[in-house]
Structure 1
Amino acid sequence: MPIAGARQEIRLDDLNPPISHYTDAVRFGNLLFISGIAPLDADLNVVGEDDVVAQARHVFEVIGKILERAGASYENVLKVTVYLTDVDDRTKINPIRKEFFGKTLPASTLIGVKELAIPGMKVEVEAVVGIA
């Protein structure tokens, strides 16, 4: 039986529609779980075309919107998981991560994958956030 009021789904209307059965984030108590954020516009087109830096920037901007909606910021991010179709792109997206996280150092995992959900996507990021 679900605990009343303990679970809250967060969906931002100005983001791309879900491509499956999920929401942008789920808050449970003091934790926020952000779904894998894809570099997609509202029409499900890949943002930044073949540019992993532009794709990563878009992904982190979207994460920022979700954090804001939840009353959090990048300082509250506890863990990120980054999926890349080319792990060598890590050095290209690290400056973007630093730009958004500043001095905050979340726990992090990088996973190289053969492909992501939409052809042309090079990066996807999910996060776990602590909210006081």
Structure 2
Amino acid sequence: MTVGQKGTAMKRREFKVPGSPEPVSHYTDVVTYGGLAFVSGALAVDTEGNVVGRGDPAAQAECVLEHLGRALKTVGCSPADVLRVNVYITNIGDHTLIRAARERFFGDARPASTLVEVGALVVPDCCVEIDLVAAVPKSTSSSEGKGNA
């Protein structure tokens, strides 16, 4: 535990998102700390780890954003609370194909964003991965009992 502004205690909390695929490594779906939610990279896989939208960046982006939406909801956030997005794609030319999904997901909100082409993602046949950081609304950032810390 760390002491924050005005002596208030800040807790690091870990969250497993119900219905999310099992992690492929040693991490959790979301970590909250100091009023922020750090959401791990999401891939287009179902709960059994099967790739969704194989060969279709737009379909994969939709699936990834659905996963991220559930992760945000788990900690009391919405897409409007997102501050920063990192998008990793295996073909930089596909960025136009995922734009519509991003616009639907974020609506009028425009988070800071980085888009990077990578050689491969951890799950073969996935071509889009997105992680993000969001501000946790005060009404939920102080609530207890939501995580699996």
After TM superposition, the score normalised by the length of structure 1 is 0.95
Secondary structure, in 3 states, of the residue corresponding to 1:65? helix
CA RMSD of aligned residues (A): 1.1
| Higher radius of gyration, 1 or 2 | 2
Q: Identical aligned pairs, as a percentage?
A: 41
Structure 1 moving runs of 4+ over 6 Å:
none
2:80 to 75, 79, 82: 75
State the partner residue of 1:54. 59
State the partner residue of 1:29. 34
Listed one character per residue, the Cα deviations across residues 34-87 of structure 1 (whole Å, up to 9, x for unaligned) are: 001111111111111111111100000111111111111000000000000001
Q: Aligned runs of 1:92-103 on 2, under 5 Å?
A: 92-103=97-108
Distance 2:134 2:17 in 1: 17
- 2:7 matched to 1:9? no
The unaligned stretches of length 5 or more in structure 2 are 3-8, 138-149
- 2:67 matched to 1:66? no
2:130 to 102, 125, 128: 125
After TM superposition, the score normalised by the length of structure 2 is 0.85
How many residue pairs match? The answer is 131
State the partner residue of 1:20. 25
State the partner residue of 1:39. 44
Secondary structure, in 3 states, of the residue corresponding to 2:126? coil
